[in-house]
Chains A and B, each alone.
Chain A
Amino acid sequence: MTTSTTPLYYLSLAEAAAALSSGRISSAELTDAVIARAEAVEPQLHALLSADPAAARAQAQASDARRAAGKSLGPLDGIPIGLKDVIAVRDQPLTAGSRMLANFISPYDATVTRRLREAGAVLYGRHNCDEFAMGSSTENSAFHPTGNPWDLERVPGGSSGGSAAALAAGEALATLGSDTGGSIRQPAALCGVVGLKPTYGRVSRYGLVAYASSLDQIGPFGRTVEDVALVLQAIAGHDERDSTSLRAKTEDFGAELRGPAIPRRLGLPREYFGEGLDPEVAAAVEQAVSYYRGLGCEVRPVSLPHTPYCLDTYYVLATAEASSNLSRYDGIRYGHRCAEPRDLNDLYSRSRAEGFGAEVKRRIILGTYVLSSGYYDAYYLRAQKVRTLVRRDFLQAFADVDALLTPTSPIPAFRRGEKADPLAMYLCDIYTIGANLAGLPAMSVPCGFTRAGLPVGFQLLGQPLGEAQLLALGHAYDREHQWGRRHPNL
């Protein structure tokens, strides 16, 4: 798919690692190419909220020096990787796309940041996102919207839209996002790259700006499934600083990809192929299904009967957790503080009113309502019970199949401003929310384009801690098709 004329910024992470290892390129050259590319496309794309080219160049030089001394740290050493602006990098801004944190500087590194540094990665670019990761289009950023690299009038998806768009446009070789209801997978599908939400607890959330703590998970974007496996390898693992992180063995995900076996039994949940699914998306996903049949996979229909209730369950649980998590933004210790408060309550109420945007306020109010006295049992407690049933549906399906295959998003990238009604926007996530409620690993893999040239992705869902099989399954399709290696006209 790539030739010797592929610009450095469009190399896959694996190709760049091989080129660095053989001495054909240096990290300084690669990093310079990415920075120059970002400077060229940013005036149109607006995927970045901030960037520190000097810090990136210093890390690249340190990587080259390590390599020259025979002390390379592995496949990520010297690779420019960007982060969604909800992940803390010491001494860098951390806005979460919000006016509330417009002037915040991280006093420490997130655990994923520390792990990327330990793997030698060059950290470059902090990506735009929906405010506090609440949204599906990146239009809720307090700073500016981000374009879709395939059509600048359209959204890149969200909430990690900047991270997907930046990767698709060549502003990094891999990126990290966060996914609470589809915020990695949906933008990956809309921008034509691979995006993985790991099993809940696989990757530490220490240093991630919290939205809904029982659902949030950090994960990688890559141009190929192999690239995503390489990044997951670096960031996964137990962390004492996140009590929900799992004490699970971290397999060699790359080795699993090279193994001969892939899971054979694929389930198609019938509830994911019904009303509202765009026919061009359906056709592209059906072609991926056919490919797996051709590989000898047994494809069978399955049912996840509580699927119609996932969206409602999500909006009760996520807003309840958000209303609690975001109470920390009180204008006292950090974040925006209003001018001349009359008293303490006025300081809280006006600082929050001035610091938060409409979607965040809406979710805080809804979360406050579902947790309030008299409604707790009817909404919050009931949603927690439905969540049990949703998880049970998935685990029952996995008794008969090894993985599930669905569309990632019901529609391709839509126009900016097209979904002004909150409910219409929320419906973008109907196929991705289930994996968050059930804590499952799920990945979006690009599988073609619409006639209008917009990317389409399919989603694979696996059993808890089943990332190795999921990646092997995705790789079996991706290595033959490589849709994520096509580049937009930008």
Chain B
Amino acid sequence: MNSSELDLDALARLARLALTPEEKATFQRQLADLLQHIERLSQVDVTGVEPSAHAHPLQNVWQEDEPQPGLPPAEALRNAPARRDQMIAVPKVVE
């Protein structure tokens, strides 16, 4: 892994993380080291091996579509950082 391949600006943008220049420099170096370690996975012969999303083979899980009580609005809004009436307040999205 060549650390110059790690475009920290692009990754930070994708992850919606406002990183400081110092954080970017540190992560650039640390992630290059980690990726060099992780690169060892390329040594494993995975020809014909099925990927596992979970440890156990899981089937689709179905449940009856029955209404259940949910959180009342006051409870659901309890942790919202900004509220107006019974809604979460956010910056203007469309002009």
Contacts from A to B (Cβ < 8 Å): 103-105, 107-108, 200-201, 214, 240, 243-244, 246, 306, 308-309, 311-313, 315-316, 323, 327, 330-337, 341-350, 352-353, 356, 358, 361-362, 364-366, 368-370, 372, 378-379, 381-389, 391, 421-423, 436-440, 464
A to B CB contacts below 8 Å, 30 in the list: A107-B75, A200-B54, A201-B56, A214-B54, A214-B55, A312-B38, A316-B41, A331-B81, A333-B80, A334-B79, A334-B80, A343-B92, A346-B18, A352-B17, A362-B30, A364-B17, A370-B38, A372-B11, A378-B42, A381-B51, A382-B44, A384-B51, A385-B44, A385-B46, A386-B41, A387-B52, A389-B46, A422-B34, A439-B54, A440-B55
Kindly identify which residue among A337, A362, A379, A437 contacts B41, using a CB–CB cutoff of 8 Å: A379
CB-CB contacts below 8 Å: B16-41 with A: 16-20, 23, 26-27, 30-31, 33-35, 37-38, 40-41
Chain A residues near B6: list those with CB within 8 A: 369
Q: Establish whether residues B79 and A353, one from each chain, have CB atoms under 8 Å apart when the complex forms.
A: no
Q: Establish whether residues B55 and A437, one from each chain, have CB atoms under 8 Å apart when the complex forms.
A: yes
Q: Establish whether residues A386 and B44, one from each chain, have CB atoms under 8 Å apart when the complex forms.
A: yes
Q: Establish whether residues A391 and B55, one from each chain, have CB atoms under 8 Å apart when the complex forms.
A: yes
Q: What CA separation (Å) do A306 and B14 show in the bound complex?
A: 32
Q: What CA separation (Å) do A438 and B16 show in the bound complex?
A: 32
Q: Interface size bucket, B side?
A: 35 or more
Interface string of B39-61 (1 = CB under 8 A from A): 01111101001111111101001
Q: Establish whether residues B31 and A362, one from each chain, have CB atoms under 8 Å apart when the complex forms.
A: yes
Chain A residues near B43: list those with CB within 8 A: 309
Q: Establish whether residues A438 and B79, one from each chain, have CB atoms under 8 Å apart when the complex forms.
A: no
Q: What CA separation (Å) do A316 and B31 show in the bound complex?
A: 12
Kindly identify which residue among B17, B31, B52 contacts A369, using a CB–CB cutoff of 8 Å: B31
Kindly identify which residue among A308, A345, A388, A464 contacts B16, using a CB–CB cutoff of 8 Å: A345
Chain B residues near A423: list those with CB within 8 A: 33-34, 37
Q: Establish whether residues A333 and B79, one from each chain, have CB atoms under 8 Å apart when the complex forms.
A: yes
Q: Establish whether residues B79 and A104, one from each chain, have CB atoms under 8 Å apart when the complex forms.
A: yes
| B78 interfacial contact with A, CB 8 Å | yes
Q: Establish whether residues A344 and B52, one from each chain, have CB atoms under 8 Å apart when the complex forms.
A: no
The 7 closest A-B pairs by CB, nearest first: A439-B55, A384-B51, A334-B79, A337-B81, A353-B18, A385-B46, A349-B18
Q: Establish whether residues B27 and A362, one from each chain, have CB atoms under 8 Å apart when the complex forms.
A: yes
